[in-house]
């Protein structure tokens, strides 16, 4: 029996990351779940996935705003499982404000967590993947990696950066049986999106339902939120043998948003 593949999913105790961790475990991978905290609930999430899917799942604390912790996450996973076969960079935060009012600390945090963390984890994982004969890197970008929206300067800048990083890494590792791709979701109803409602309501002077209809889903032609399961299934596909020649590109899962 072939050895199980090892997958690391950053920011994976809720939302898209948790769904991807679950889906990779269901596909037979051992999984490293990650967040910046270190609670019984965090470790319980890993244990629940392990029990459900009969694979090994561990929780490793790492603050994605700190370069050393990003790289240590990869090292600890390799020490535990002997390899890193799949890396999904999912960790992200958001803040909504006009450029002139955008807090400097929020800008720095969003760039660090949404963009720089992926650089650090990828840089640490590539030598391990090369030594192991290949691997898969999946970066969770956004429709905002392709188009912009007002009041999200840091997020849009970071996600555009992720797209450039994805392409560059793909070219560098193309002959090492490693692929690097991005998924660009539209609006997914996750805790991250839920947390945007107060700022969006304040900025646009609208109630919650109006923000959903006229701001969040205004450019999503299906007028429906993408589900975390749909994003997770796309990630599993990109990690499969069928996707071996998909490299340096993105898959949009946005209900047609970026088709316009």
Q: Kindly report the CATH number assigned to the domain that includes residue 11.
A: 3.40.50.720
Q: Could you tell me if residue 140 is inside a domain? A: yes
Buried residues in 154-190 as b, exposed as e (16+ CB within 10 A): bbbbbbbbbbebbbebbeebeeeebbbbbbbbbbbeb
| 204: confidence class by pLDDT, cuts 50, 70, 90 | confident
Q: What confidence tier does 2 reach under pLDDT thresholds 50, 70, 90?
A: low
- State CA 21 to chain mean position distance: 11
Q: What are phi and psi of 173, to 5 degrees?
A: -110, 10
Residue 51 has pLDDT above 70, yes or no: yes
Is 60 exceeded by the pLDDT of residue 16?
Answer: yes
Examine residue 182 and state whether it is found in any structural domain, yes or no: yes
In this structure, is residue 196 part of a structural domain? no
Taking the C-alpha atoms of residue 141 and residue 32, their distance in angstroms, rounded to an integer, is 20
Mean pLDDT of 209-220: 89
Mean pLDDT of the chain: 96
200 membership: H or E segment, kind and range:
helix 197-204
Query: Has residue 31 been placed in a domain?
Result: yes
Domain that holds residue 113: 6-188+226-259
218 within domain boundaries: no
Which sequence positions are flagged as catalytic? 155
Residue 179 lies in a domain: yes
Query: What count of Cα atoms within 13 Å lies in the side-chain half-sphere of residue 157?
Result: 16
Radius of gyration of the chain (CA): 18
The predicted model gives 139-159 an average pLDDT of 97
pTM of the predicted model, to two decimals? 0.94
Classify residue 212: in a domain, yes or no.
no
76-126 confidence digits (pLDDT tens): 999 999 999 999 999 999 998 999 999 999 999 999 999 999 999 999 999
Strands 86-89 and 250-253, sheet pairing: unpaired
pLDDT at residue 250 in the model: 98
Indicate the SS3 state at residue 236.
helix
Does residue 135 have a pLDDT over 90? yes
Question: Are 251 and 184 spatial neighbours (Cβ–Cβ below 8 Å)?
Answer: yes
Our count of domains for the chain comes to 1
The answer, yes or no, to whether residue 212 has pLDDT greater than 60, is: yes
**Whole-number Å distance between alpha carbons of 88 and 98:** 30
151: left (phi over 0), alpha (psi -120 to 50) or beta: left
Sheet holding 135-140, edge to edge: 57-61, 30-35, 6-9, 86-89, 135-140, 178-185, 250-253
Could you tell me which of 102, 94, 91 has the C-alpha nearest to residue 139?
Answer: 91
pLDDT band at 190 (very low <50, low <70, confident <90, very high): confident
Q: Is the pLDDT of residue 232 over 70?
A: yes
In this prediction, residue 1 carries a pLDDT of 41
106 in a domain, yes or no? yes
Mean pLDDT over residues 217-229, rounded? 93
Query: CA nearest 185: which of 5, 19, 13, 2?
Result: 19
Question: Residue 191: pLDDT band by 50, 70, 90 thresholds?
Answer: confident
């Amino acid at each position: 029996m072939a050895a199980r593949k090892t997958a690391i999913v950053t920011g994976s105790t809720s939302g898209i990351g948790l769904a991807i961790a679950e889906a990779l475990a269901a596909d037979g991978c051992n999984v490293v779940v990650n967040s910046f905290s270190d609670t019984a609930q965090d470790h319980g999430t890993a244990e629940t996935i392990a029990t459900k899917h009969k694979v090994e799942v561990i929780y490793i604390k790492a603050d994605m705003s700190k370069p050393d912790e990003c790289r240590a996450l990869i090292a600890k996973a390799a020490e535990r499982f002997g390899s890193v076969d799949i890396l999904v960079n999912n960790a992200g935060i958001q803040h909504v404000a006009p450029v002139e009012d955008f807090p400097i600390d929020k800008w720095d945090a969003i760039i660090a967590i949404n963009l720089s963390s992926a650089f650090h984890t990828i840089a640490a994982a590539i030598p391990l993947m090369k030594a192991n004969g290949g691997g898969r890197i999946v970066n969770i970008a956004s429709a905002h990696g392709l188009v912009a929206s007002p009041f999200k300067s840091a997020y849009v800048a970071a996600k555009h950066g992720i797209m450039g990083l994805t392409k560059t890494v793909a070219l560098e590792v193309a002959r090492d049986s490693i692929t690097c791709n991005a998924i660009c979701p539209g609006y997914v109803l996750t805790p991250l999106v839920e947390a945007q409602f107060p700022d969006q309501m304040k900025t646009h002077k609208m109630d919650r339902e109006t923000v959903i209809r006229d701001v969040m889903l205004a450019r999503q032609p299906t007028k429906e939120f993408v589900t975390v399961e749909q994003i997770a299934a796309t990630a599993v596909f990109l990690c499969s043998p069928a996707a071996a020649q998909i490299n340096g590109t993105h898959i949009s899962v946005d209900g047609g948003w970026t088709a316009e």
